[in-house]
Amino acid sequence: MERHERVFEVIGWVGYLVLVPMAFYVLRWDPVTEVMESRLGFAGRPGFLTLLGFALIFAKILFGGERRMLPLILGFVIGFLLVSTFARLGFMRWFWGLGESVILLRSAGLSYFTGMGVLLTGMILSYLPRVSFLAQLLGLVVLPGAALLVLNALRILPG
């Protein structure tokens, strides 16, 4: 792995870490969210954090040195769709508007946590040399979808 590839690997992981503070918004922990909004202003809001985090991860996809691209891209796309249901990005209105009628996406908080899990799984699987296509689909599509279906039906985290 070349030097610039290592730099973009780190940039991608920083992008993932940028998305982590949105969990305070999901869990409605007001002391932290008030500090994020008052001290950081616009930069502390979920929409900005989502765009910044995924832009950094996209730079990792373009310039990083992963062994496998399919799990990284699949995790990126599915993770973005799920996280954007919580962040309520304006240009993604078509998706989260559609998601309100689908039981899988009923809880935006669960969608956020599942999206973060899918994104992390895709990033980790991109480093592994031999993972079958079926295992990738199982870990990035089937299991998260089943988890969303069951947890939304049980109403684990209110919408």
Compute the distance between CA of residue 23 and CA of residue 47 in angstroms, rounded to an integer: 13
> Rounded distance, CA 37 to CA 60, Å?
28
Residue 159: is its pLDDT beyond 60? Answer: no
For the stretch 71-128, pLDDT in tens is: 999 999 999 998 888 888 778 778 777 777 777 777 888 889 999 999 999 999 988 8
pTM summary value: 0.87
Q: How many whole angstroms separate alpha carbon 61 and alpha carbon 100?
A: 30
- Whether 22 and 49 have beta carbons less than 8 Å apart is answered as yes
The amino acid present at 140, given as its one-letter code, is L
> Of the candidates 6, 12, 81, which has an alpha carbon nearest to the alpha carbon of residue 52?
12
**Letter for the amino acid at 75?**
G
For 135-149, how does the pLDDT look when each residue is reduced to its tens digit (9 = 90+)?
999 999 999 999 988
Cα separation, 132 vs 84, in Å, equals: 28
What phi and psi values does residue 146 have, to the nearest 5 degrees? -65, -40
- The domain limits of the chain are 3-154
15 burial via Cβ count (<10 Å: 0-12, 13-18, 19+): buried
Give the span between the Cα atoms of 27 and 44, in whole angstroms.
Answer: 15
